Amino acid sequence: MELRSGVAAYYERCFGLDVDPESVLVVPGGKVTMAFAMLLLGESGREILYPDPGFPIYRSMAGYSGARAVPYALHEEMGFSFKAEDILARVNDNTRLIILNSPGNPTGGSNVEAEVEVLARGLESFPNCAVLSDEIYSRLYFDGESHLSLLQFEALRERLIVLDGWSKTYAMTGWRLGWGIWPISMIGAATKLAINIHSCVNAPAQAAALAALEGPQDDVETMRMAFQARRDFIHARLNAMPGITAARPKGAFYAFPNISGLGLSAEQVQDQWLEELNVAAIAGTSFGAAGEGYVRLSFANSAGNIEEALDRIEGWVKRL
């Protein structure tokens, strides 16, 4: 309860949002909240909507639950935010869960408030459909933009599961720590899964998690600024390369350049960069069919390594 209260207090401090500690479930990593949501809501005959391109676990876990995994596309020309009408066109009486992710992996796109409002209104006709808002990059925004948590939308609260955790904000990926904010109507079922599967997060990690939330926070801002500088550098360098155009990521630590002008598939580009340049990028198609024509570059790496990688990519593009 001490840590759950710490998470609730964090929401008040960072976002001015009221969260009931009873609605918080601490789990071993952000992925666990998403798995629990899909295990609780997905089964044969039901549908789960997920973003394409999106974090690959969404589709994989939705399918594992027995539900039909239904993609909705994110569009580059909209900065990779979702369009409510794309989602609502796919919602029906069998839809049990819609997954949203902002800022997004792999695109760096973020939700647009007006689209969230349209979605919330549209969902009023579908009382059995929940929303999983993956907000794991909530503290990694650029250009002075701040996070729009779906918890701000009162109309969604009763159907909303928010996923966040320590992996990105506090660079504690290896600690395996995450939290979910659940509707009170679902927290009992989610807690039952936790008790059946892992009992609880180990006690030393819980102490570390509380220390991260309540200790000095200056490193969070230092890292956010470092990521923003890397984002600026990558964005400018990629856009100067012939055949490549890159949208400007609004958050998270990924660039998702459009490489369709190179005349190769995303997978070919990925493989050639890896094999010829020793540069690791991920084909957009690893994040769904709509990722064809894109690759994902992570800038969770040193400025020096990023510059070296971009030098190699630039040389390769010029030789093509």
Q: What is the contact surface with ligand PLP in residues (CB under 6 A)?
A: 29-31, 55, 101, 105, 134, 136, 165, 167, 173, 178
Residue type, 198: H
Nearer to ligand PLP, 96 or 168 (CB): 168
> Minimal distance in Å, beta carbon 36 to ligand PLP?
12
Nearer to ligand PLP, 107 or 258 (CB): 107
How far, in Å, CA of 177 to CA of 197, rounded? 15
Which 3 state secondary structure label does DSSP give 31?
helix
Strand partners, 134: 101, 163
Distance (Å) of CA 163 to CA 51, 89, 132: 15, 25, 7
How far, in Å, CA of 112 to CA of 79, rounded? 10
Q: Which two tokens stand for residue 226?
A: 């470092």
> Minimal distance in Å, beta carbon 261 to ligand PLP?
27
Nearer to ligand PLP, 52 or 134 (CB): 134
Nearer to ligand PLP, 101 or 110 (CB): 101
How far, in Å, CA of 1 to CA of 237, rounded? 47
Nearer to ligand PLP, 81 or 101 (CB): 101
How far, in Å, CA of 114 to CA of 255, rounded? 25
> Minimal distance in Å, beta carbon 121 to ligand PLP?
26
> Minimal distance in Å, beta carbon 134 to ligand PLP?
5
Q: Which two tokens stand for residue 292?
A: 């064809």
Q: Which two tokens stand for residue 82?
A: 């979702």
> Minimal distance in Å, beta carbon 55 to ligand PLP?
4
> Minimal distance in Å, beta carbon 75 to ligand PLP?
18
Residue 135 burial by Cβ neighbours in a 10 Å radius (0-12, 13-18, 19+): buried
Which 3 state secondary structure label does DSSP give 109?
coil
Nearer to ligand PLP, 237 or 270 (CB): 270
